[in-house]
Each structure stands twice: as structure tokens, then as C-alpha cells.
Amino acid sequence: MNNDKKSILITGSSSGIGLAVAKDLSKLGWNVIASCRKEEDCKILEDRYGLSSTLIDYDNQKSIISGLEYTLEKTNGKIDVLFNNGAYGLPALVEDIPVDSLRGIFETNFFGWHSLTKEIIPHMKVNGSGRIIQNSSILGFMALKYRGAYTATKYAIEAMSDTLRLEIKDDNIKVIIIQPGPITTKFRENSYIRFKGSIDWQESDYKSIYVNKIIPRLESKKIKKTTFELLPNAVSKAVIHACTARNPRIRYRITWATVIMMYLKRFLTDNLFDRISSKL
């Protein structure tokens, strides 16, 4: 690697948004470390795309440390940008989510992010600058039915990121939030795996909702794209701007759905907004 180039560590790079960002920044000449949760996915990134890849599993602190050590070795100790991206969903009614499963999704989607960020900040301070980009969601500022666990983790990321931004501003480290709306990824099928391992829907008082709404959507291979749905490269463009702009935005809202819902959330009463979101 050319250590004179800018460097970025990306998590959740096996597909979707993480992979798109890794490929696009690599084409722009960045030193990209694209991490994955599974060794076989790391090998695919190296063999198929020529990317430097390392194992980082947010549920495994040892992998966070070893993945960071690999990154620092590849970049001569200089990480310009961290893009926290890896996360999963757990579709279910809140009443049916086991406490241990809720702890599990927070371990991946929130505590793992915090752990990696904590480890990287001292290196950014030594280098005199850095950017921490957090891939949140439209569900980081609004709620939808059956997505309570994932929404809770994104609200937590938003709050922690806003606080961190205020605290490390004088260290020349910028904290930036990405808020994608509907993006075409493998998120749904990965969520279905978690759903099957965690939710006892057959014993639920809401069994009919699972049978008629939640499970058919999770199982469908041919869900028609929504009007506002975009490909992962739409998020990649925003991340690239966040990486390279002299004065990046604090929040990047991706898809018109996110922009529209943000304005509705801001200007409508809670009761009226609930009436709208309950129909989505």
C-alpha cells in the first residue's frame, strides 16, 4: 500500500453498502481496508476485488483488536476515516423480542461500533485529524412497526454520535452520520436468518401478522422496489463526499423517502406523524 494516500477502514464490506464504498474509494486511489465478519468473505474481497481485507466481528473484541492492528500495519499507523457500517435487523413485534436477542443486536449494532471507535480515536488524535462516519438509517429518527430492535440501535447510534461530535471537535476529528432510506442490499435476507433464530412467532398473540405480513416479506425473492429505493452506490457517493469534503455535512440523508420523512417528523405533531408512519 502507498502510505502517502488517504486510508479508510470499512466494516460490513462483504456486500451492499460496505462493498460499494470499498470498491469506489479504491478506484479513487484510497488505501482501503475492507473488513468482514467471516474469513471466507475476506478472501473473496481479496481474490475477486483486489482489496485488503481483515476479519472484524463486532461481537468479538479480539477480532476488533486484531483487525485494527492489521489496518494500522497496512496504513503505517494512519487511519484517516473509520466507516462503521456492519449491522443487522431483527424484524418482530417488540412484545415478542427476547431480552437476550435485544442484547445481541445491541452488541453488534451499537457496542461493537463503540468499541472499534474507542480504539481508533487515539490514533486519529496522534495524527492530528480523522473522520468517523456512522451508517445510521431513516430509522435513526423515526419508528416503523416490526422494526423496534433495529430502530432502537440506530437511535442509540445517533445520540452517541451527536455527543461524540461535540466532545472531540477540538481534536479535529469529525463525526458524520449517514441516513439511508430504502437501499437494495441483502439486509432483508440477513434479517430473516436472525428472525428464525430468535423469534418464537408461532406462540405469539400476533401470529397472524407474522403469517400474513412479516414472513412473506422476509421470504420473498421478488419484492418490487419501492418508488424511492436506490442502489448502494447512492450511499457510496455520500460517503465519498463525507471523506473528501473540506466541510462535510453532519448528516447525509439518502433517498427522497428519508428527506420527506425528516421534514414530516420535524413539522407534524407526534399524533399526526404516527398516523402516517403506522400505515407504512
Tell me how far apart the alpha carbons of residues 259 and 261 are, in angstroms, rounded to a whole number: 6
Task: Say if residue 222's pLDDT is above 70.
Answer: no
Domains and CATH numbers, the chain: 7-89+97-187+230-277 (3.40.50.720)
Which amino acid is residue 80, in one-letter code? D
**pLDDT value, residue 1:** 56
Residues 6+ apart with CB under 8 A from 264: 273, 276
Would you place residue 31 in the very low, low, confident or very high pLDDT band (cuts 50, 70, 90)?
Answer: very high
Task: Say if residue 117's pLDDT is above 90.
Answer: yes
150: annotated active-site residue: yes
Q: Is residue 104 within 8 Å of residue 146, measured between CB atoms?
A: no
Grid coordinates standing for 82?
473509520
Task: Say if residue 3's pLDDT is above 80.
Answer: no
Q: How far is CA 101 from CA 107, 260, 270, in A?
A: 10, 32, 29
* Short-list 105, 277, 112, CA closest to 190: 105
pTM of structure: 0.95
Question: How crowded is the C-beta side of 258, counted as CA atoms within 13 Å?
Answer: 21
Question: Could you read off the pLDDT of 231-241 as tens digits, one per residue?
Answer: 999 999 999 99
Given 58, 88, 146, 150, the catalytic residue? 150
**pLDDT value, residue 4:** 72
